[in-house]
Amino acid sequence: MTFWTRLFLTSFVAATVTLVAATVFASWSLARQVNARLEQGLVDEARLAAETLSRRPAATRDELAAEAEAIGKVIAARVTLLAPDGTVVGDSSLTPPELNGLEQHAADPEIEQARRDGLGVARRYSPTLNTDMLYVAVPVRGQPALANVRLARPLTSITEQLPPLGRGAAGAMALGLVTALGLASIASVLLGQRVRAITDVAERYASGDFSHPARDYGADEIASVARVLDDSARQIGQRVTELDADRARMTAILSGMIEGVLVVNEHGRLQLVNDAARRMLRIDDAFEGRHYLEIVRHPDVAGQIGAALAGTTPEGLELSLPREPETIFMARSAPIRSAAARGAVLVLHDITSLRKADRIRRDFVANVSHELRTPLTAISGYVEALRDGGVDRPEAERFLETIARHTARMERLVRDLLRLARLDAGQEPLDRLACSVDTLFAAVTMELSGAIDARGQRVILDVAPDAATVTGDPAKLHDVFRNLVENAINYTPERTRIVLASARRGDRIALSVTDEGPGIPEGDLPRIFERFYRADKARARHARDPGGTGLGLAIVKHLVELHGGTVQAANRPQGGAILTVELKA
């Protein structure tokens, strides 16, 4: 049932009930008023008759009988004249002879009331006329033979006047019902339209559309309610929009964080887990509402959350996950205490890179200390021997040559360290030019020709026509390939070949240095570009002193990346190592 139908039926039923009640009450009230008016009229007529009779001279019984008949004709009522003893001395409805057989009426209630109060009114059944009558009796003074005059009128004559009133009331009620029907329909339509308008606005608000202007609802109570609801809905919509924006910002912030964030409620149920935490803890998407013990399998992490839920703030815990022992996390948790919610938050910091950097720093200090201590020890020993004397000239020259060699090694170490520091700080300028690959390879070969000839090695150039030019800094590219070729010379047996080649690979050019040595152990391939890392020394020309600083390939990697390129090391199936530099064409 629609609101309009309910409203119409309610209004119509209410109007109908009201009209029926009003009609019944009006009919009852009119009947009472008619009865009262007729009764009062009969009383007035009785008093008038009594006053008239009291002013005439004393009359005989016959004269009184004639007087009763005359008065009855005038007032259209039965007139009865009673003697002091209650005997009827005149009656407008009876002839004088008929009066002799009538009983006395001194005991009638209206007569007794008139004798006592001066006026008597009674409604009772008349056995003489066989009908209900209205009797009014009034005392008559000044007539010795007459005590009371009584007027009687049948009640049927009174009730005959009520049906027209009832028919009029029924007609008025019917007209009122028709009018109520029309008014209820019109009121229901108008009110229904207003409610429909309010409903339309509410439905737009419910769908999230707050762009429509507020309607003019009027100035009554419904309008006040509609305006309050409209303002409330707009405020709620604004707050929902703000909450959505805040949630979007929070989601964006949490998604962009490298730290893992995990939030549980006071019952330990997961409420929020960002992408970083899902990756760290290997949590699937269906996490919301589940208990953290179902998701977090690491006992230390679970202990951190449990302590925070208990209301304490535990110290940060450094740990690694069983499935990724090489990854190190710092777990910190804290309780959430607010009027709206309680729970705990866990933050996971991936400190693997920090620990790796710390390890590299310690290794770097140890390596630099070792690299400097070895030549310094040798230099100190030889200088002490020279100062003590007793060394012949050939041996002294050998000592000085060793001191010079170790000094040069320390100078190379310091120079390479300073260059790496500049590269790390971005202080190495890059002058990009079109470089000829043939010229670059020829210059490196010419510079290292002494070492190449000493080992009886051959350098072969294989430059593809479509890879004869690269863009880069000629001096830095020269340093790159000088390091690579020098390594190949040191780690390749005598009388072998070293191939310098270039080839195009799509939009890039691959420049490679290939040797015919023993290759690089597979375990060393991922680390050969680390600082101070050396592969198996047995591959070197001098196992006890390979002559390098262990920083050459690290410098190569930085210089290539400065050009936006990549460098890779691999072993050839037929033996030997191949180091490939890829640069943009």
Q: Is the pLDDT reported for residue 256 higher than 80?
A: no
| Whole-number pLDDT of residue 410 | 82
pLDDT tens digits for 357-415? 787 777 777 777 777 787 888 888 888 888 887 778 888 888 888 888 888 888 877 88
User: Span 551-569, mean pLDDT?
Assistant: 91
**Which residues are within 8 A (CB) of 525 and not within 5 positions of it... i.e. 6 or more apart?**
569, 570, 571
pLDDT at 547: 52
**Cα gap 47→150, rounded to integer Å:** 9
Q: Is the dihedral of CA 15, 16, 21, 23 positive or negative?
A: positive
The pLDDT, as a whole number, for residue 161 is 55
Residue 77 in this model has a pLDDT that exceeds 70:
yes
Considering the chain, what percentage of its residues have pLDDT values greater than 90? 17
Weakest mean pLDDT among 117-121, 177-181, 354-358, 444-448: 177-181
What's the sign of the alpha-carbon dihedral 102, 106, 112, 118?
Answer: positive
Per-residue pLDDT for 538 more than 60?
no
- Which positions ≥6 away from 49 have C-beta within 8 Å? 71, 75, 79, 138, 149, 151
Whole-number Å distance between alpha carbons of 440 and 136 = 150
Please write the tens of the pLDDT for every residue from 10-42.
Answer: 776 777 777 778 777 777 777 777 778 888 888
Q: What distance in Å separates the CA atoms of residue 149 and residue 83, rounded to the nearest whole number?
A: 9
Confidence check: pLDDT of 443 > 90: yes
Average pLDDT over residues 444-469: 93
pLDDT of residue 220: 67
pLDDT, one tens digit per residue, over 78-98 is 888 888 888 888 888 777 777
Residue 375, both tokens? 């030549």
Place of tokens 């240095």: 513
**What is the chain's Cα-based Rg?**
64
Regarding predicted confidence, which is higher, 458 or 316?
458
CA distance 320 to 331: 10
HSE value, Cβ hemisphere, 13 Å, CA-based, for 371: 25
Tokens of residue 47, six digits: 């008093």
CB atoms within 10 A of CB 100: 9
Q: What is the pLDDT of residues 260-309, one digit of tens each?
A: 888 888 888 887 887 777 777 777 767 777 787 777 777 888 888 888 88
Tokens 């309680």 correspond to 342
* Strand locations in 25-164 (E): 78-82, 88-91, 120-126, 131-139, 148-154
DSSP string, 219-260: SSHHHHHHHHHHHHHHHHHHHHHHHHHHHHHHHHHHHH-SSE
Is it the case that residue 321 has pLDDT exceeding 50? yes
Collapse the DSSP code of 461 into the 3-class scheme (helix H, G, I; strand E, B; otherwise coil) and give the result.
Answer: strand
Give the strand order in the sheet containing 508-514: 458-463, 497-505, 508-514, 577-584, 566-571
CA dist., res. 460 & res. 519, Å (int): 18
Query: Taking the mean position of all CA atoms in its chain, how far away is CA 572?
Result: 60
The pLDDT of residue 8 is 67
- Could you tell me the pLDDT band of residue 440, with boundaries at 50, 70 and 90? very high
pLDDT band at 502 (very low <50, low <70, confident <90, very high): very high
Place of tokens 């057989």: 101
Quick one: pLDDT band at residue 475, thresholds 50, 70, 90?
very high
Q: What is the pLDDT of residues 116-167, one digit of tens each?
A: 888 888 888 877 667 788 888 899 887 777 888 888 888 775 556 556 666 6
Task: Please state, in angstroms and rounded to a whole number, the distance separating the CA atoms of residues 187 and 200.
Answer: 20
Percent of the chain with pLDDT over 70: 88
Number of H-type helices and E-type strands within the chain? 16, 17
Distance CA 481, CA 489 (A): 12
What secondary structure letter does DSSP report for 485? Answer: H
CA distance 194 to 179: 22
Q: Mean pLDDT over all residues of the chain?
A: 80
